[in-house]
Amino acid sequence: MPKPKTYRLNMNAIVQDIVERSEIATVKDIERIMKRLDTLEAKFSAIKAINGGKTKRAIPPKKKGASTGQVLAVIKKSKKGVNAETIQAKTGFDKIKVRNAISLLGKAGKIKRTSRGVYESVKEHPLPVSPEKARKTDQERPQEG
Residue range 126-138, pLDDT digits in tens: 556 666 666 666 5
Q: What are phi and psi of 118, to 5 degrees?
A: -115, 130
pLDDT at 48: 79
| Higher-confidence position of 54 and 82 | 82
Q: How confident is the model at residue 98 (pLDDT cuts 50, 70, 90)?
A: very high
Residue range 28-63, pLDDT digits in tens: 888 999 999 999 998 888 887 777 766 665 555 556
Average confidence (pLDDT) over 1-19: 78
Q: Are 97 and 67 in contact (CB under 8 A)?
A: yes
The pairing of strands 111-115 and 118-121 is: antiparallel
> Is this structure's pTM higher than 0.85?
no
